[in-house]
Amino acid sequence: MKTLELQLITVGLEDGKQGVFVGLPLVVGATADECGQVENIWFSNIKEVPDSLTMEELMGLIGKQLFDKLATLQ
């Protein structure tokens, strides 16, 4: 079975609301002290996706969105 590394990030707001974000791991234990400081956070537009989407398909859509965004910045 093929696996995919994922990292969950939970953000809590002052009013008690919470959101969970899923993505590829940014910080691993071995390098957390050296390069694990957060410098910026960006939020994308909200997109509706089919609820039958697999995690691999979802990560592919996220990757495409990031690639498209980087292409427009250059």
The structural domains of the chain, with segments of one domain joined by +, span: 1-23+54-74
Return the pLDDT at 74. Answer: 58
Tokens of 49: 């996706």
The confidence score (pLDDT) of residue 73 equals: 65
Query: Residue 24's closest CA among 38, 1, 5?
Result: 5
Residue 7 corresponds to which tokens in the numbers above? Answer: 């990292």
pLDDT at position 1: 78
Per-position pLDDT tens, the chain of length 74: 788 788 888 888 999 999 988 887 877 766 666 766 777 887 778 888 899 998 888 888 888 887 777 777 65
Amino acid 17: pLDDT: 92
How far is it, in rounded angstroms, from Cα 7 to Cα 23? 5
